[in-house]
Amino acid sequence: MSSPFRRIVVFGGPTLVGLLNLTHPLVRPPIYRVVMHHLPWWTTLHVLNLLLFSILGSAVYLVISEVRNFAALLSKIAIVVFIPLYVAFDSLAGVGTGILVQQASGFPSSSLTSIEPLIDAYWTSPIISAIAAIGSIAWVIAMLAASVAFADASRRRIAAVVAVIIFALGGWAQVHLFLPAVGGPIPVLWWMVTLFNAFLVFLFVRPRIPATLLTLAALMFGASHVTPTGPLGMFCLLTAAIYLQTKRDPSLDADYAKL
């Protein structure tokens, strides 16, 4: 793989995903009435995301590809799981909803009282929710494992313990604080928990900068790819990638070389 192509993917993936999703509308039921005002951009945005989420996953894989330790292996497996699941989620929730809203707009207004609840039920479908949840969990695991993989060998065990704590605490905050507020203002407590998790990494893991940035990328984009958390997560990932591509310790490549 050529170096220019690698840089395009590694830096272009998070940049494009972050910029595109700055324009992502914030929606909550009733879905038809909200999404209708954003057509046709809503559908176009999610079609573009189908490609960009795949590039994003490839970017993460390339960042971690030359590291040979158990955490790196876990990160690679998780990102391979993330790509098809998150693309499937975007296809169903994004493109699928856009198509339903577009088709419903052609029906008489008297029919909308029956159609709107069906679109809301589709949006909140347990199947779509499960795919989104598993894809997001895979993303968080990939990012947290990457932060451990790049940690100094002398700090890798404590980095792993910190990552497990953050995974549990971040999961609690996602379920009890973030998800109930989807489509509205993000609770201040969720931001506080997220920043506390980043502080834990900054305090205990070395090198501090990439580990902290990867943790923020995990928690923010893992919460949602829409603004503000999605673009902020992509900014953190891009900054971490720039740091790692210019200052990465070559000794990492030799760790657990037999894996």
39-93 tens-digit pLDDT:
999 999 999 999 999 999 999 999 999 999 999 999 999 999 999 999 999 999 9
- Tokens coding 15: 């940049």
Domain assignment present for residue 27? The answer is yes
Residue 188 lies inside a defined structural domain of this protein: yes
Of residues 144 and 250, more confidence is placed in 144
Q: How much is the average pLDDT of 175-183? A: 93
User: Is residue 203 one of the residues assigned to a domain?
Assistant: yes
Q: What is the pLDDT of residue 248?
A: 55
pLDDT confidence band for 2 (50 / 70 / 90): low
Residue numbers of the domain that contains 202: 3-254
- Residue 247's pLDDT band, with cuts at 50, 70 and 90, is confident
Measured distance CA(104)–CA(20) in Å, rounded: 26
Q: Is 95 a member of any domain?
A: yes
Please say if the pLDDT value at position 250 is more than 80: no
Check residue 112 and give its pLDDT. Answer: 87
The tokens of 141 are what? 């695991």
Residue 103 lies in a domain: yes
CB atoms near residue 75 (< 10 Å): 28
Given a contact cutoff of 8 angstroms between Cβ atoms, the answer to whether 53 and 112 are in contact is: no
* Cα pseudo-dihedral 66, 68, 71, 73, rounded to 10: 80
The answer to whether residue 259 sits within a structural domain is no
For residue 194, pLDDT over 60 is answered with: yes
* C-alpha torsion 63→67→73→77, nearest 10: 20
- Structural domain includes residue 54: yes
Q: To which residue do tokens 């088709």 refer?
A: 103
Q: In angstroms, how far is CA 100 from the centroid of its own chain?
A: 25
Q: Hey, which bits of 38-107 come out as E strands?
A: none
pTM of the entire predicted model: 0.93
User: For the chain, what is the domain count?
Assistant: 1
Q: Please report the pLDDT score of residue 183 as a whole number.
A: 84
